Amino acid sequence: MVPIAPTGFHDAYLFDLDGTIYLGDDLLPGARRLIEELRRRGIPVRFLSNNPTKAPAQYAEKLERLGLATPVGDIANTVATMTNWLVSNHPGATVFPIAERPLIDALTQAGIRISEDPAEIDIVIASYDRGFTYEKLQIAFDAIWFHRRAILVATNPDRYCPFPGGRGEPDCAAIVAAIEACTGATCQQIVGKPDPSMVTQALAGLEVDPRRCVMVGDRLGTDIELAVRAGMSSALVLTGDSTLDDVLATPEAHRPTYILERIDRLIPSWDELGWTADEETR
């Protein structure tokens, strides 16, 4: 299998961030000129992230620092999707978030009641939490297993968060696994990629058909699977988690539409623009 690039433009582009647009504090090669060219053509660009440890405004600040100034409204992450999902599907519920400050702040601002009393918790929210403790696990256990009243939901399905240099940190799936292991419960809802609710939020306000849009990312199980479930085209960029061997091991129906060695290969008119493959522009 060899890389496959698109031959035309789509109506809107949805991009993963970590491993796709940047890695750590550096833009990946071609990311800046790609985004600038899409914006020059008036094509909507939106950014999606499963990382709930930052608010959308923090992502906007980082993108601006990297030279890609972006309105907060163009960024959808699991802080926003979890908050919106709770407001839409469980109004009035009392929740216990095993999460970091951005999600807790968003829930509070939305008027969602938070409690650490297992006897009144309706929903335990598992998230990427670097402050996870046995005490938090006990509260979740009591709310779900002892009081038998709470359900378990999660912000994202990622097992780990990749870092530059091949390192990483345990992510939300590790918290979910701990709670499921001791309670016997099953997580009932995951709002992050690959759940199509991420596409709904990202495309809100745009009069575009998701079938004419493309989701771009570095992970088959989240980014590409999101596109499959939402009926979108997809592009896997080989600058992050998944490899060509991973694609070959994936059932054909769940493979990406395009495979890119670098992200600016999304642009089909390289000759017209005078771009070269060996250019290491950011």
User: Is 83 in the same domain as 185?
Assistant: yes
Q: Note whether residue 211 is domain-resident.
A: yes
Identify whether residues 167 and 203 lie together within a single domain. Answer: no
Amino acid 272: pLDDT: 86
How would residue 281 be classed by pLDDT, with cut points 50, 70 and 90?
low
Same domain for 174 and 94, yes or no, is: yes
- Of the three residues 145, 173, 190, the one that is the final residue of a domain is 190
Kindly state whether residues 141 and 199 are assigned to the same domain. no
Query: Do 140 and 198 sit in the same domain of this protein?
Result: no
Q: Identify whether residues 106 and 150 lie together within a single domain.
A: yes
pLDDT, residue 271, reads 81
- Tokens found for residue 158: 């990622």
The answer on 139 and 228 residing in a single domain is no
Amino acid 122 reads D
Percent of the chain residues topping a pLDDT of 90:
86
Is a pLDDT exceeding 90 seen at residue 188? yes
Q: Are residues 96 and 35 in the same domain?
A: no
Question: So what's the pLDDT on residue 168?
Answer: 86
What is the spatial distance between Cα 71 and Cα 56, in angstroms, rounded to a whole number?
9
Report if residue 56 sits inside a domain.
no
The verdict on residue 3 lying in a domain is no
**Tally of domains in the chain:** 2
Q: Please indicate, yes or no, if residue 33 is contained in any of the structural domains.
A: yes
Amino acid at 93: A
Region 160-187 average pLDDT: 92
Q: How far apart are CA 39 and CA 125, in angstroms?
A: 36
Q: What CATH number should be reported for the domain holding residue 115?
A: 3.40.50.1000
Segment 94-149, tens digit of pLDDT: 999 999 999 999 999 999 999 999 999 999 999 999 999 999 999 999 999 999 99
Q: Are residues 172 and 210 in the same domain?
A: no
4 part of a folded domain: no
| 73 within some domain | no
Q: Is residue 280 part of a domain?
A: no
Is 195's pLDDT higher than 90?
Answer: yes
Are residues 156 and 202 located together in one domain of the fold?
A: no
92 shares its domain with 147: yes
Mean pLDDT of the chain: 94
Whether 9 shows a pLDDT value over 90: the answer reads yes
**Domain termination site, one of 163, 190, 217:** 190
Q: CA 253, CA 120: separation in Å to the nearest integer? A: 43
Question: Which residue range(s) make up the domain with 109?
Answer: 79-190
For residue 217, list its beta bridge partners.
236
Looking at 190, 209, 233, which one is the last position of a domain? 190
Same domain, 169 and 100: yes
In percent, the amount of the chain with pLDDT more than 70 equals 98
Q: Which residue has the tokens 């016997």?
A: 184
pLDDT beyond 80 at 2:
no
pLDDT (mean) for 22-49 = 95
Average pLDDT over residues 224-238: 96
Confidence of residue 280 (pLDDT cuts 50, 70, 90): low
User: What's the pLDDT tens digit per position in 198-217?
Assistant: 999 899 999 899 999 999 99
Residue 180 lies in a domain: yes
Instruction: Examine the pLDDT at 250 and tell me if it is beyond 90.
Output: yes
CA pair distance 221, 216, nearest whole angstrom: 13
